[in-house]
């Protein structure tokens, strides 16, 4: 099975909301580079206008849960990114196979970070940051997969909802390491998460992305205006119709974001 065939198979599964066996369980040998090429083709099939990247599996505390040992990334599009009005939004559960919610730190680049940029340099290229909820979705049943499977399937990205922007940014590297989120469902606290859960901090996750993109032939570098999510601050949580999820952010991002599941 070639890259086009695999991309078509994934596209059909995603658009029909039909789960399939992980590719790597069907004796398909995929390197990460192969998987990124498939992900790029998948974006073409979906006619996506790429507006940034989501970084996944940056939270080392959840690696044992999903059987992974490294981060990955996927593209986000103009059609998959939205902004919460007054910190509130909603999503339709029926649009996904097996969705989960992740509280994220979101950044937007004013200009493209260069190759081999240090964390300090990366910060200087950031325009704003914000709280976010990423809806991640697995076309692979029970969230069982390998890293190449997740990369090929677009990084499991479903939708990103962005909250209140913060444009005054000082000492961002340590501030984001100390960033806290309290995640609640129907006003019951489910988990607390911190920026320190993300690799060596959220900006280190962005450096991993920037460096990694330059090493992948099929990938397009970050451009001005691109939005990047740095990875979930907690474990991903399953969703049910009728729930209201809230993330209260305290730190350099100091606001709340809520999503109703309809």
The burial class, CB within 10 Å (0-12 / 13-18 / 19+), for 119 is middle
Give the pLDDT score at 1: 65
Q: How far apart are CA 146 and CA 139, in angstroms?
A: 13
Cβ(97)–Cβ(239) under 8 Å? no
Helices (H), the chain: 3-16, 32-45, 63-66, 119-124, 147-152, 172-178, 202-215
Q: What are phi and psi of 89, to 5 degrees?
A: -155, -175
Give the pLDDT score at 218: 86
Cβ(67)–Cβ(150) under 8 Å? no
Give the pLDDT score at 15: 95
User: What is the domain count for the chain?
Assistant: 1
Q: How far is CA 73 from the centre of its chain?
A: 7
Cβ(73)–Cβ(80) under 8 Å? no
CATH number at residue 167: 3.90.850.10
Q: Print the domain residue range for 246.
A: 3-261
Handedness of CA 139, 144, 149, 152 (dihedral sign): positive
Q: How far apart are CA 40 and CA 38, in angstroms?
A: 5
79: DSSP letter: T
Per-residue pLDDT of the chain (262 residues; tens, 9 = 90+): 689 999 999 999 999 999 999 998 888 889 999 999 999 999 999 999 999 999 999 988 888 888 888 899 999 999 999 999 999 999 999 999 999 999 999 999 999 999 899 999 999 999 999 999 999 999 999 999 999 999 999 999 999 999 999 997 889 999 999 999 999 999 999 999 999 999 999 999 999 999 999 999 889 999 999 999 999 999 999 999 999 999 999 999 999 999 999 9
Q: What are phi and psi of 117, to 5 degrees?
A: -65, 140
Give the pLDDT score at 254: 97
Q: Cβ contacts of residue 173 below 8 Å, gap of 6+?
A: 119, 120, 123, 201, 203
Of 259, 6, 25, 5, which is closest to residue 133 (Cα–Cα)? 259
The burial class, CB within 10 Å (0-12 / 13-18 / 19+), for 78 is exposed
């Amino acid at each position: 099975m070639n890259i086009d065939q695999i991309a078509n198979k994934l596209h059909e599964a995603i658009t029909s909301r039909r789960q399939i066996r992980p590719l790597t369980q069907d004796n398909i040998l995929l390197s990460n580079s192969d998987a990124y090429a498939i992900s790029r083709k998948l974006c073409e099939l979906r006619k996506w206008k790429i507006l940034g990247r989501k970084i996944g599996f940056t939270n080392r505390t959840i690696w044992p849960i999903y059987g992974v040992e490294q981060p990955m990334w996927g593209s986000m599009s103009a059609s998959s990114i939205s902004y919460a009005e007054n910190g509130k939004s909603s999503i339709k559960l029926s649009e996904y196979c097996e969705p989960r919610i992740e509280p994220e730190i979101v950044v937007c680049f004013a200009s493209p970070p260069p190759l081999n940029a240090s964390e300090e340099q990366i910060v200087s290229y950031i325009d704003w940051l914000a709280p976010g909820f990423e809806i991640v979705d697995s076309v692979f049943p029970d969230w069982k997969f390998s890293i190449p499977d997740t990369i090929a399937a677009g990084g499991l990205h479903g939708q990103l909802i962005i909250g209140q922007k913060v444009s005054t940014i000082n000492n961002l590297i340590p501030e984001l390491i100390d960033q806290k989120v309290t995640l609640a469902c129907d006003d019951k606290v489910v988990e607390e998460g911190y920026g320190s859960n993300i690799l060596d901090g959220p900006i280190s996750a962005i450096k991993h992305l920037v460096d990694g993109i330059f090493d992948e032939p099929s990938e397009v570098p970050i451009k001005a205006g691109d939005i990047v999510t740095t990875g979930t601050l907690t474990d991903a949580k399953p969703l049910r119709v009728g729930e209201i999820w809230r993330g209260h952010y305290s730190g350099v991002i100091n606001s709340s974001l809520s999503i109703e599941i309809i």
